Amino acid sequence: METFERGQAVFRDDDPAMHVFKIVSGLVRIAKILNDGSRVITDFFYPGEIFGLAPDERYLGDAEAVGEVKLRRLSRNRFQQAVDSSEQLRPQFINWLYREMASAQARMVLLTRKKAEERVCDLLLTLARRAGNDNGPASEIEIPISRIDMADYLGLTIETVSRTMTNLIRRGVIQSSARYRFTIRKPALLKSLADGGDEYHDLDGIPLGRQAMRAH
């Protein structure tokens, strides 16, 4: 098992793709530096997830540790042999490919069709789902990523991300319990906002008279 410190690179863009990695603890981001010097984050990977599978023999983007990361490294050839020879691993790998395709499609919609608040809410839901377990998404999530990382992933400015997070806290959708830890207090409303809804969808616990007033 290997340990990487915050900001340390696991591999760099266009390095030979000789290994596949599985995260034991921590968070890894995949980033791409564009010709104009700006940075785009294409994905985050959580404990238990695999990254470093390149379509050809070169990595796409820089893989960097977000905080301390512990991971296991497996040669690309050994990984492919294990998948080919194992009846258990093969369907798991195919399911992983399907999830990656679905994730890429969802990200395309996120960046091309969704507004700023919808993007931030969508990211929070995604992080909650990936930090959860078989019982469902986590209600309390740790987001050890900076506002800059969130902005570069969502295609927004850091000011927009900070303003949106502050608004979500003020409206009681999420609660900040520590520097990097958030509790999702209104998951149904968060999902509604991610889908383009508004706060008027969240009528639970509001007296009927006030519900009627909000509806007009």
Given a contact cutoff of 8 angstroms between Cβ atoms, the answer to whether 45 and 28 are in contact is yes
Q: Which CATH class is domain 114-216?
A: mainly alpha
State both tokens at 172.
């009681």
- Rounded-to-integer distance, Cα 118 and Cα 93, Å: 31
Instruction: Name which of 201, 178, 170, 192 is nearest 121 in CA terms.
Output: 192
Residue 149: count of CB within 10 angstroms of its CB: 21
Q: Which residue has the tokens 């958030």?
A: 182
pTM above 0.85, yes or no: no
Longest dimension (CA), the chain: 66
Dihedral of the alpha carbons of 154, 159, 163, 169, in degrees to the nearest 10:
70
State both tokens at 105.
């499609």
> 174-176 and 181-184 as β-strands: parallel, antiparallel, unpaired?
antiparallel
In the CATH hierarchy, which fold is given to the domain comprising 1-113? Jelly Rolls (2.60.120)
pLDDT string in tens for the chain (216-residue length): 999 999 999 999 999 999 999 999 999 999 999 999 999 999 999 888 889 988 888 999 999 999 899 999 999 988 888 888 877 777 777 777 777 777 777 777 777 778 999 999 999 988 888 776 556 666 777 777 889 999 999 999 999 999 999 999 999 999 987 777 888 899 999 999 999 876 655 544 444 444 444 444
